[in-house]
């Protein structure tokens, strides 16, 4: 699948026209959908969604999908596992659609009848259970009221007002009538108040909660309810209370007055509940049986229906001018034309059509979509680029270079062996387990993001180990591998000065930074200067690389004008300004020795002098090298000359050209027409009827003439555009170089932060001696490690990541990348079935 | 300082405001044009899928009916509103409750009228607006006098404060139900208006404008509808909400009006309402006064979205969504009844 070099530029695309026999169209589109390499264009943009040709079929699919969703919901309700075999069934032919519809219809009606049966039964069951509870609870009410009856009314108990009135009710119990029912828990307080007010306090209400949760037969939710009983006198109150009860949707149950009757009813209810339970179980079994069948197949069905729907959607994009064939236009990669043609042939064969489907390339002035083939490794890097902007068609794609430069720049800021190792191991885990995670898509969005970037993180970790090795830092500690090249002086505060005799052994540490610096007082001073200069060097290298990619672009698009009038002065400008500075840095590093360090010239002052056009000798400064002044004067002149070159040359040439070409346009269009015609004739459209050719001809002409209109040349616009670009480039040379200093700043911050964490946390644990030290270390370690992960790995990692992104998007890509293309989104079943595309 | 006030505003419903602004986008002008071209309700459904309404009808089996669409549209609005209400607190919660009160009033009146006409409760309940449902609502059927209604039922409901003016021992009949409705509405509008004014800031600017219009609209409509009924002029004057631009002079004039022309004369003294009366009439092609009022309301509500950090957007969102639903239902009705001549007389939302 992955071809070398294909990532460098996006795939070559072409616009093709397909002539599909109407009986073969379905099968052909189905094959193309499996292939997923063609992006269809809407040929009827003015037609409403509901006025298109295959709208009825789409609607039927919608209906099938609805039924399947209903069945799926029922399956999920019963907690049945949906069978996922990973099978990918092909889209069924249109004639099978009716069978499917019938099947789903039958299942749906069956399911619905089962459901309504079950609901009726459950409702019945609920009523009986509620009645059971009422009987049981009211029994308690009655018993409670009977208890005080045994006492004498006069006995001075601690009778409160309430209990006395309560007693009174109890005594005259049989003169009162009552209503008993069941009510939702959340309504009980409002109910109590309304009933009290509406009946002016002439009723007595008791209620208590049913401990068991009841099931709502309609929704299947668990609900809590209360049993209540209202005592009252008179018919008027009765009707009133009943109205209130209906108002609160309470269910009332007949409740006999004598205990014997209640007991009898309770017995009857119990037996009926038992009977009902068996019936309910049987219904549930039946339902389960039906659903298990559904669960086995529903995934395949859903895929099939979605595929059919997608096919009809696509067919709706086609032009149906002629009766017997459909005309489609699609973008496809040039390299895959053979595969598309093969798919078309297969589709035609499958449908049994005798007339072949025809594919023909079209000429167009439209911008083709950008199609970068990626695999699981490159997709993460491509995503970073695409997040900034999809590259123009055939423009140099920065993604392949990003694979190395991104983790590297990240690692420069994040250099620490320990942290890098942890990151690497985390990513390695994701990579090793990727098959498992691919199958069961992670739900968590943040985790998903990290999973998608697992190879990126892997490389970032790996590179961080390397830079950490160079910086000689592992959780901010240094490791002495090759033996230090400095002699210790027995000072407590260690300042390393190579000029002192006997301190430096004369040969450098073998690789990376000497571990002795870890304990040196002047560590930061030395490293700052070193890392800062490194940052400028790396920045310059990347910017020059960006410009050379711009060169590739210009070469590819044969844009000599921009190459010579824009790119070349840009290159000179950058080299003369920043390149010279880099040269100076390297020269000073290699030629000037430690012994001369006191007299060595400052590069910064040198740079300022260069643009002040002052001779270093005149200020009694030591020159970096002989002839410095002359070289610098020359470079300044080059720099200054580059500006008008960039600004004026291109607009001038464009202006000249526009004057020349205005006369030629008529000839051009005539020539074009001739070409189109001859193309038509050579096109081999024998099998098509005449009006098809006419259509094609017409459209082609449209396409060509639409674009052929000479763009009106507006000098002021060109000048303004050019001025903006020139100013932007000149300023950005300075600001971008400065911006690369973030490499130094972040690496400094990271190493300082990890050192602080070590000395403030871990060190205190390790410094304590004895048993208490061991225990302390144990606890401190957890604290230390959690802070390491949360602050140093996650937070610092994120910040370095963002800065690396910025360096790529702004500093690097601004040199060559337009990013104004649009992405190739082929008609592909894999995407549709996964639900990524409508 | 600006930043800190910004922050305070954000904490006070900024998230919800953003949400509402997102919810607002339903149907564009273009969509309306397409909708009116539909031949069947299935077409309508298909087209609505492409708009902000998405798949709200996806689980409805064919054939569709207008009432199903209506129910689903309403359900969608209610879900969105309840979501916002559940996330609101303090002032915003009060504000949103105020929006709900008007639906509660409508529901109570609906139930009382229904009971007077011997309708069953089960028949009436589905017609109640779900935003206006409260616990005691369904028991209003037991009340025979307004005092009863208040003492037994509404005293615990949030509507109690609005009810003070209409308590009497008279039996409920059609006439005084109308009076109750209007008195309730009057009290409600005045309370809402005062609350917004006291809240101050952009909320007051926006909401007072909208509520003042609402108050005036009620006054005008009450006057027009009262012609030829037993309602005396003094009683009528008591029903006018006293917060609109017509208050006090305009209302005084209105209370004297005997005919439509008089109302028109009064309203034309006000720059805002003059255009509404121009060009209305019963001739074909003319818009009704009601539609003109709706249009003006829509304009006010759309304008409310121009300002940030104020509660007006929540009110306007509900009103605009309601109008949009009414439009869709209108179009759906026209399609269903094959009565296409008037299909274009929906109220466009700019």
ipTM of the modeled complex: 0.77
Give the chain B residue whose CA is nearest to the CA of A237.
B142
Considering the domain architecture, whether residues B149 and B181 belong to the same structural domain is answered as no
Q: Count how many Cα atoms sit within 13 Å of the Cα of residue B169 in the half-sphere of its side chain.
A: 0
Identify the pLDDT of residue A2. Answer: 40
Identify the pLDDT of residue A411. Answer: 95
Domain contains B208? yes
Averaged pLDDT, groups of 10, chain A, 838 residues long: 63 87 85 88 80 83 87 85 77 84 89 88 87 81 58 42 46 65 84 82 82 79 84 81 82 80 84 89 88 85 88 86 79 88 87 81 86 87 91 90 95 94 95 86 83 93 95 90 76 69 79 85 88 95 94 89 91 94 92 83 87 82 86 93 92 87 54 50 42 42 44 81 93 94 95 91 85 88 93 93 95 91 87 64
Give the chain B residue whose CA is nearest to the CA of A105.
B61
CB spacing of B153 vs A246 below 8 angstroms: no
Identify the pLDDT of residue B245. Answer: 86
Residue in B34, B50, B138 nearest the CB of A248? B138
Contacts of A650 (CB under 8 A, 6+ apart): A561, A562, A565, A566, A718, A722
Identify the pLDDT of residue A401. Answer: 93
Considering the domain architecture, whether residues B161 and B203 belong to the same structural domain is answered as no
Residue A689: CB atoms within 10 Å? 13
Chain B contact set for A49 (CB, 8 A) = 34, 46-47, 49-50
Own/partner long-range contacts of A385-390 (Cβ < 8 Å, ≥24 apart): A385/A813, A386/A823, A388/A809, A388/A813, A388/A817, A388/A819, A389/A817, A389/A818, A389/A819, A389/A820, A389/A821, A390/A819, A390/A820, A390/A821, A390/A822, A390/A823
Fold category of A122-144+174-277 in CATH = Alpha-Beta Plaits (3.30.70)
Chain A contact set for B142 (CB, 8 A) = 198, 240, 243-244, 247
The two tokens of residue A475 are 């959780």
CB spacing of B141 vs A249 below 8 angstroms: no
Give the chain A residue whose CA is nearest to the CA of B140.
A247
pLDDT tens for residues B212-239?
999 999 988 888 888 888 788 888 888 8
Which pTM was predicted?
0.73
Quote the domain boundaries for residue B104. Answer: 90-173
Distance of alpha carbon B336 from alpha carbon B333, whole angstroms: 5
Distance of alpha carbon B340 from alpha carbon B46, whole angstroms: 19
Chain A contact set for B140 (CB, 8 A) = 247
Give the chain B residue whose CA is nearest to the CA of A63.
B61
Considering the domain architecture, whether residues B260 and B213 belong to the same structural domain is answered as yes
Domain contains B69? no
Residue in B59, B153, B156 nearest the CB of A66? B59
Considering the domain architecture, whether residues B227 and B259 belong to the same structural domain is answered as yes
User: How far is A240 from chain B, CA to nearest CA, in Å?
Assistant: 6
User: How far is B341 from chain A, CA to nearest CA, in Å?
Assistant: 21
Residue in B58, B136, B141 nearest the CB of A66? B58
Give the chain B residue whose CA is nearest to the CA of A197.
B152
Identify the pLDDT of residue A155. Answer: 41
User: How far is B147 from chain A, CA to nearest CA, in Å?
Assistant: 11
Residue A513: CB atoms within 10 Å? 19
Closest CA to B76 of B89, B62, B99, B59: B59
Chain A contact set for B47 (CB, 8 A) = 48-50
Give the chain A residue whose CA is nearest to the CA of B56.
A66
Identify the pLDDT of residue A546. Answer: 94
Chain B residues with CB under 8 Å of a chain A CB are 34, 37-39, 42-43, 46-47, 49-50, 58-62, 121, 135-142, 148, 151-153, 155-156
CB spacing of B138 vs A62 below 8 angstroms: no
Considering the domain architecture, whether residues B134 and B212 belong to the same structural domain is answered as no
Is A249 in the B-facing interface, judged by CB distances under 8 Å? yes
Chain A contact set for B58 (CB, 8 A) = 62, 65-66, 69
Work out the angle at residue A42's Cα, subtended by the Cα atoms of residues A36 and A43, and round it to the nearest 5 degrees. Answer: 125
Identify the pLDDT of residue A235. Answer: 80
Domain contains B45? no
Chain A contact set for B59 (CB, 8 A) = 66, 69-70
Interchain CB contacts (distance < 8 Å): A and B:
69
- Dump the DSSP string for A440-451: S----HHHHHHH
Identify from B139, B154, B331 which residue to disrupt to test chain A contact, counting A C-beta atoms within 10 A and taking the largest count.
B139
CB spacing of B121 vs A246 below 8 angstroms: yes
User: How far is B156 from chain A, CA to nearest CA, in Å?
Assistant: 8
Give the chain A residue whose CA is nearest to the CA of B41.
A50
Is A70 in the B-facing interface, judged by CB distances under 8 Å? yes
Domain contains B337? no
Give the chain B residue whose CA is nearest to the CA of A184.
B135
Distance of alpha carbon A178 from alpha carbon B216, whole angstroms: 52
B173, B198, B219: which is the final residue of a domain? B173
Domain contains B195? yes
CATH 3.30.70.2750, chain A: domain bounds: 122-144+174-277
Task: Give kind and range of the element (H or E) at residue A189.
Answer: helix A188-198
Domain contains B151? yes
With b for 16 or more beta-carbon neighbours within 10 A and e for fewer, the B272-305 pattern comes to: ebeebbeebeeeeeebebeebbbbbbbebbeebb
* Residue B169 DSSP symbol: S
Domain contains B266? yes
CB spacing of A66 vs B151 below 8 angstroms: no
Residue in B50, B140, B142 nearest the CB of A49? B50
- Report the domain count for chain B: 2
Is A194 in the B-facing interface, judged by CB distances under 8 Å? yes
Chain A contact set for B121 (CB, 8 A) = 246-247
Considering the domain architecture, whether residues B146 and B190 belong to the same structural domain is answered as no
pLDDT tens for residues B193-214?
999 999 888 888 889 999 999 9
User: How far is A198 from chain B, CA to nearest CA, in Å?
Assistant: 5
Considering the domain architecture, whether residues B268 and B181 belong to the same structural domain is answered as yes
Residues of chain B with pLDDT under 50: none
**Contact between A398 and A807 (Cβ < 8 Å):** no
Query: Residue A204 — φ and ψ, nearest 5°?
Result: -130, 120
CB spacing of A66 vs B61 below 8 angstroms: yes
- Residue A424 to residues A129, A432, A455, A747: CA-CA distances in angstroms? 61, 12, 10, 18
B278, B301, B326: which is the final residue of a domain? B278
B121, B151, B173: which is the final residue of a domain? B173
CB spacing of B139 vs A48 below 8 angstroms: no
Domain contains B83? no
Per DSSP, the three-state class of A150 is helix
Is A62 in the B-facing interface, judged by CB distances under 8 Å? yes
Chain B contact set for A69 (CB, 8 A) = 58-59
- Only one residue has tokens 């805002």, namely B272
């Amino acid at each position: 699948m992955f071809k070398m070099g294909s990532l460098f530029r996006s795939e070559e695309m072409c616009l093709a026209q397909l002539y599909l026999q109407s009986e073969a169209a379905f099968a052909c589109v189905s094959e193309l959908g499996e292939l997923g390499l063609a992006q269809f264009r809407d040929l009827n943009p003015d037609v409403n969604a509901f006025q298109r040709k295959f709208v009825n079929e789409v609607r039927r699919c919608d209906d099938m999908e609805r039924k399947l969703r209903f069945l799926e919901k029922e399956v999920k309700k019963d907690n049945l596992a949906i069978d996922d075999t990973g099978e990918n069934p092909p889209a069924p032919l249109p004639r099978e659609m009716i069978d499917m519809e019938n099947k789903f219809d039958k299942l749906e009606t069956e399911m619905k009848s089962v459901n309504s049966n079950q609901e009726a039964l459950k409702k019945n069951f609920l009523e009986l259970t509620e009645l059971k509870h009422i009987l049981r609870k009211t029994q308690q009410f009655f018993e409670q009221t009977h208890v005080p009856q045994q006492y004498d009314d006069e006995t001075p108990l601690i009778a409160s007002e309430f209990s006395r009135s309560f007693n009174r009710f109890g005594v005259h119990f049989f003169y009162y009538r009552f209503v008993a029912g069941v009510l939702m828990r959340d309504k009980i307080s409002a109910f109590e108040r309304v009933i009290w007010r509406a009946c002016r306090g002439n009723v007595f209400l008791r209620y208590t909660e049913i401990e068991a949760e009841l099931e709502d037969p309609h929704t299947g939710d668990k609900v809590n309810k209360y049993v209540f009983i209202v005592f009252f006198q008179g018919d008027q109150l009765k009707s009133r209370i009943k109205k209130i009860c209906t108002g609160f949707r309470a269910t009332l149950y007949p409740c006999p007055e004598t205990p014997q009757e209640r007991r009898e009813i309770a017995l009857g209810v119990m037996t009926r509940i038992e009977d009902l339970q068996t019936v309910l179980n049987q219904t549930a079994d039946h339902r389960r049986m039906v659903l298990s069948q559904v669960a086995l197949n529903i995934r395949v069905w859903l895929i099939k229906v979605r595929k059919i729907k997608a096919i009809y959607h696509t067919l709706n994009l086609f032009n149906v001018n002629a009766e017997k064939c459909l005309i489609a236009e699609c973008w496809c990669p040039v390299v895959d034309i053979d595969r598309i043609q093969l798919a078309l042939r297969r589709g035609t064969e499958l449908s049994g059509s005798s007339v072949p489907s025809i594919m023909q390339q079209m000429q167009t002035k439209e911008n083709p979509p950008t199609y970068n083939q990626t695999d699981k490794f490159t997709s993460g890097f491509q995503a970073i680029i695409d997040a900034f902007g999809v590259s123009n068609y055939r423009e140099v794609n920065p993604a392949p270079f990003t694979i190395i430069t991104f983790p590297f720049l990240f690692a420069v800021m994040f250099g620490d062996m320990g942290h890098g190792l942890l990151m690497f191991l985390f990513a390695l885990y994701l990579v090793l387990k990727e098959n498992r995670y691919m199958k069961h898509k992670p739900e968590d969005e943040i985790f998903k993001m990290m999973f998608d970037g697992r190879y990126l993180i892997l490389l970032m970790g790996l590179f961080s180990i390397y830079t950490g090795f160079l910086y000689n830092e592992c959780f901010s500690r240094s490791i002495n591998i090759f033996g230090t090249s400095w002699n210790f002086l027995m000072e407590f505060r260690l300042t390393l000065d190579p000029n002192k005799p006997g301190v430096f052994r004369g040969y450098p540490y073998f690789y990376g930074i000497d571990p002795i610096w870890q304990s040196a007082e002047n560590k930061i001073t030395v490293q700052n200067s070193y890392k800062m200069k490194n940052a400028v060097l790396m920045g310059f290298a990347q910017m020059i690389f960006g410009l050379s990619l711009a060169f590739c672009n210009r070469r590819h698009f044969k844009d000599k004008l921009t190459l010579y009038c824009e790119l070349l002065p840009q290159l000179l400008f950058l080299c003369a300004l920043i390149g010279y500075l880099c040269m100076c840095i390297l020269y000073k590093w290699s030629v000037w020795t430690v012994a001369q360090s006191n007299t060595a010239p400052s590069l910064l002052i040198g740079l300022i002098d260069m643009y002040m056009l002052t001779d270093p000798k005149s200020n009694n400064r030591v020159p970096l090298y002989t002839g410095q002044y002359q070289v610098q004067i020359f470079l300044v002149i080059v720099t200054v000359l580059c500006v008008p070159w960039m600004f004026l040359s291109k607009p001038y040439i464009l202006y000249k050209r526009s004057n020349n070409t205005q006369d030629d346009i008529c000839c051009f269009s005539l020539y074009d027409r001739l070409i189109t015609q001859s193309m038509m004739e050579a096109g081999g459209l024998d099998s098509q009827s005449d009006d098809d050719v006419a259509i094609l001809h017409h459209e082609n002409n449209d396409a060509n003439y639409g674009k052929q209109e000479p763009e009106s040349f507006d000098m002021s616009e060109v000048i303004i555009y050019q001025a903006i670009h020139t100013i932007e480039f000149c300023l950005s040379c300075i600001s971008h170089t400065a911006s690369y200093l973030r490499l130094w700043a972040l690496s400094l911050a990271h190493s300082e932060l990890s050192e602080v964490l070590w000395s403030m946390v871990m060190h205190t644990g390790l410094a304590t001696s004895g048993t208490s030290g061991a225990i302390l270390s144990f606890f401190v370690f957890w604290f230390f490690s959690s802070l390491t992960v949360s602050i140093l790995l996650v937070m610092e990692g994120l910040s370095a990541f963002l800065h690396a992104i910025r360096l790529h998007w702004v500093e690097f890509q601004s040199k060559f990348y337009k990013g104004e293309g649009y992405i190739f989104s082929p008609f592909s079943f894999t995407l549709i079935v996964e639900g990524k595309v409508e | 300082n600006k930043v800190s006030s910004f922050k305070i505003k954000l904490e006070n419903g900024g998230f919800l405001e953003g949400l509402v602004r997102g919810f607002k986008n339903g149907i564009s002008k273009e969509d309306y044009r397409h909708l009116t071209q539909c031949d069947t309700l299935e077409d309508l459904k298909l087209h609505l899928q492409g708009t902000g309404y998405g798949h709200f009808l996806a689980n409805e089996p064919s054939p569709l009916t207008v009432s199903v669409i209506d129910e689903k549209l309403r359900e969608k609005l209610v879900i969105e509103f309840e979501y916002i209400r559940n996330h609101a607190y303090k002032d915003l919660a009060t504000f949103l409750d105020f929006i709900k009160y008007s639906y509660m009033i409508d529901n109570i009146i609906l139930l009382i009228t229904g009971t007077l006409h011997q309708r069953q409760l089960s028949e009436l309940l589905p017609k109640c607006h779900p935003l206006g449902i409260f616990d005691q609502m369904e028991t209003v059927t037991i009340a025979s006098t307004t005092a009863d209604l208040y003492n037994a039922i509404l005293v615990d409901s949030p509507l109690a404060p609005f009810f003070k003016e209409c308590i009497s021992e008279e039996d409920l009949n059609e006439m005084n139900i109308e009076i109750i409705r209007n008195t309730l509405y009057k009290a409600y509008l005045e309370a809402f208006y005062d609350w917004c004014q006291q809240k101050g800031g952009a909320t007051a600017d926006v909401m007072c404008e909208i509520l003042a219009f609402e108050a005036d609209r009620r006054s005008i409509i009450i006057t027009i509808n009262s012609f030829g009924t037993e309602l005396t002029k003094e009683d009528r004057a008591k029903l006018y909400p006293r917060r609109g631009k017509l208050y006090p002079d305009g209302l005084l004039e209105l209370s004297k009006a005997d005919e439509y022309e008089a109302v028109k004369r009064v309203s034309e003294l006000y720059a805002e309402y003059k255009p509404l009366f121009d060009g209305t009439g019963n001739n074909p092609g003319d818009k009704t006064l009601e539609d003109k009022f709706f249009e003006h309301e829509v304009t006010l509500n759309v304008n409310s979205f121009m300002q940030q950090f104020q509660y007006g957007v929540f009110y306007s969102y509900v009103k605009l969504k309601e109008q949009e639903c009414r439009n869709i239902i209108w179009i759906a009705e026209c399609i269903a009844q094959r009565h296409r001549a008037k299909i274009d007389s929906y109220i466009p939302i700019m």
